[in-house]
Amino acid sequence: MTRLALATAVAALLLASSSARADDPEYIEKFASKLGNCQPSCYENEHSVKWDQSDYKRVCGYKEWHFESVKPRGSGWTPLASSGIPAVDPTETGCKAPPDSGGKWKSLVGQVKRAFKPLNVDLKNVRFAVQGSWNHDRDDHGDPRKWIAVRIYASNWGLKPNECGTHGTETVCEASGSKGARGFNYARFRLDEARKNQKANRETCLISSFAAAATARGLKKFRAGRIKKNNWTPGLTYKTRFDGELSEKELFAQVDEIETEAVALHKKCGGASPLVTAAESGHKPEFDAVPDPEFE
């Protein structure tokens, strides 16, 4: 999402919430309009961490390949060949891999070994485990085709870093699509902006502290709603833009602190007290400052 698109969405959602109740304070619409026009600033989306081959983590695990053979009209079955290179990361397992499939699959495994050609990887402790049985269909020319899945185990598959620059799924960030990390980053960004302008620019302090408080409140409501629907992943580590890596408990403790400080700053800068935000109105979407159609 571009800066302008994000800003426009922020304004639209805030305005939608505020217009739903006639008694909502007028400043909600005013601040929403300012934020929608990148005032006092636009929030830049977090970009994925850049990495190269040296950042790969070597793991024990497997990748699943498909191997196929085709029977052209008037000919016998072609030698077994791989039907593409898996683009997915390896599935991590213990380093005690199963033995090569034997029995009726012994001959097939021999063919798979000859057909398997990893790209620029010196794999170690390789094992081949057949999965299921032959599948039959036809290729693009209408010729009979049979294919089979084989898990190829090794002790040094390369696991590439994710968008956060970490490995695995336990650590998330804004760039990886975490709404919790995104909301926290946005709230922190606006709070820091309000702090810096507490004396220098009263209008900026008011808008930014309002946005920080609204986002903190909305983020807590978003989490509570997801937990109620059994649609929340607990125990994650959040890699934030400004506060390093935080546990879920640490992140939401800081969300509380952000809300408290933002509300106090808003008052110091001459704003409303108590501060009412669109996230409190009870209308969807709850998470106004970080718009997403799934937030409810």
Which of the listed residues 159, 175, 208 is the one where a domain comes to its end?
A: 159
Q: What does the alpha-carbon distance between residue 239 and residue 90 come to, in Å, rounded to a whole number?
A: 23
Over the chain, what is the mean pLDDT? 85
**E strand intervals along 71-126:** 81-82, 91-92
Length of the chain as a residue count = 296
User: What residues make up the domain containing 130?
Assistant: 57-159
- Asked whether residue 44 falls in the same domain as residue 168, the answer is yes
Number of alpha carbons in the 13 Å side-chain half-sphere of residue 228: 7
Helices within 152-198 (DSSP H only): 179-196
* 296 has a pLDDT exceeding 80: no
Amino acid identity for residue 71 in this structure? K
d(CA 40, CA 215) in angstroms, rounded, equals 16
Asked if residues 128 and 109 have their Cβ atoms less than 8 Å apart, the reply is yes
Name the pLDDT band for 2 (thresholds 50, 70, 90). low
Report the number of distinct structural domains present in the chain.
2
Cα distance from N-terminal residue to C-terminal residue, the chain: 20
Together in a domain, 133 and 176: no
180 with 268, same domain: the answer is yes
What percent of the chain lies above the pLDDT cut of 70? 85
Q: Does 288 map to a domain? A: no
User: Same domain for 37 and 177?
Assistant: yes
How confident is the model over 40-52, as a mean pLDDT?
Answer: 90
Final residue in a domain of this structure, among 159, 177, 212: 159
For 203-253, how does the pLDDT look when each residue is reduced to its tens digit (9 = 90+)?
Answer: 999 999 999 999 999 899 899 999 999 999 999 999 999 999 999 999 999
Q: Please indicate, yes or no, whether residues 143 and 221 belong to a single structural domain of this protein.
A: no
Does 27 map to a domain? yes
DSSP state of 45: P
